[in-house]
A and B are shown apart, each in its own frame.
Chain A
């Protein structure tokens, strides 16, 4: 009897024990068995305590679904500290655009833009266009460094010319949206001229 109890305890120790809230949700909102992704904070919790997706943006720029309608960043300098914007990508939101009017006396400057977002929901991408010509100059690439906190990180780098207004767009890529059930996300956009 004692051996049987001891054996049961030892065997029970072989089964993974994962406390609720231990992990961020994985791609497509995946979680360990018995848990579900909580859209409110994209952590794996018990299914009964899930809360709906919520997002608080730094600025309410809607409608900003096109480069022409994008939110214009204030006075930019040729070299500046990074500008960080928290944004939200709700269901059926095609894109969020931010306009970048480069000062005319800057000559050529480099832009370093990054976007990070939870891997739990739909994936997002970056694109840079010249608002005058409408030409897409660059798109996001994999960053040389990666986030370890359950976020995806994408990077964009390009040379910009002074006196031209550019726009950076954030849009869903169509992947990781749980077949439409998690077609939303929150993101942080970071842009720096240097």
Chain B
């Protein structure tokens, strides 16, 4: 866990003496701890720090602010998108069914054209020649091919629909547990002629 200290805001202002009659603020010595580090517990009764603690830690748990509660799991429900591989498979299946259906349609029209050449429901006055027999055979052959192609295309279309439904991503749940030490800490550090206000948290 990486630790970072972020100074969100700094305010330098004159702070009037909190209590009348108190000793004026003393200039901190150069050996005073850097403001970036957690402020040490001030010695009670030290006139340099005043009578009481001059910094406070704001605990979000203790506050009434809605949102993150430390130590409590956050449950997120979501539906993930289809993977690229899944989309590719669906597209390939659907495309294949279209291709087979298209081939079937071609042979369908071919068989219909040949069939129209010889189909008749009344006396034609013409003999049954080899040419008409060829049309007849072509019509049957193309109809058979069209049927097979339609069958394969239909099966692929059905497979596509089933595959699409079966592989649809379901709703997933993700739990997030906020880190216990991520509580933000507010600090107020007295400085000469004012105070330094900052906050820091771990994430």
Q: Is the CB of B123 within 8 A of A21?
A: yes
**How far is the CB of B104 from the nearest CB of chain A, in Å?**
9
In the bound complex, residues from chain A placing their C-beta under 8 Å from that of B140 are 15-16
Stretch at the interface among B43-51, B53-61, B65-73, B108-116: B108-116
Binds B, one of A27-35, A86-94, A103-111, A131-139: A27-35
Which residue of chain B has the shortest Cβ distance to A148 in the bound complex?
B126
Residues of chain A within 8 A (CB-CB) of B164 are: none
Q: How many residues of A contact B (CB 8 A)?
A: 28
Contacts of A149 in B (CB 8 A): 125-126
User: Would you call B124 and A23 a contact (CB within 8 A)?
Assistant: yes
Q: Which of B123, B127, B136 has the most CB of A within 10 A?
A: B127
Q: Does B122 contact A (CB under 8 A)?
A: yes
A25 at the interface (CB under 8 A from B): yes
Whether B120 contacts A13 by the Cβ 8 Å rule is no
| Chain B nearest Cβ from A178, distance in angstroms | 14
Residue of B nearest to A12 (CB): B143
Binding site for B on A (CB under 8 A): 7, 10-11, 13-19, 21-27, 30-33, 43-44, 119-120, 148-150
Chain B residues in contact with chain A, CB under 8 A?
108, 111-112, 114-115, 118-130, 132-133, 135-136, 139-140, 142-143, 146-147, 150
Q: Give the 5 A-B CB pairs with smallest separation, nearest first.
A: A150-B127, A26-B128, A14-B111, A22-B120, A24-B127
Pairs across A and B, CB under 8 Å, 11 listed: A14-B111, A15-B111, A15-B115, A15-B140, A16-B140, A17-B115, A19-B120, A30-B133, A43-B123, A149-B125, A150-B125
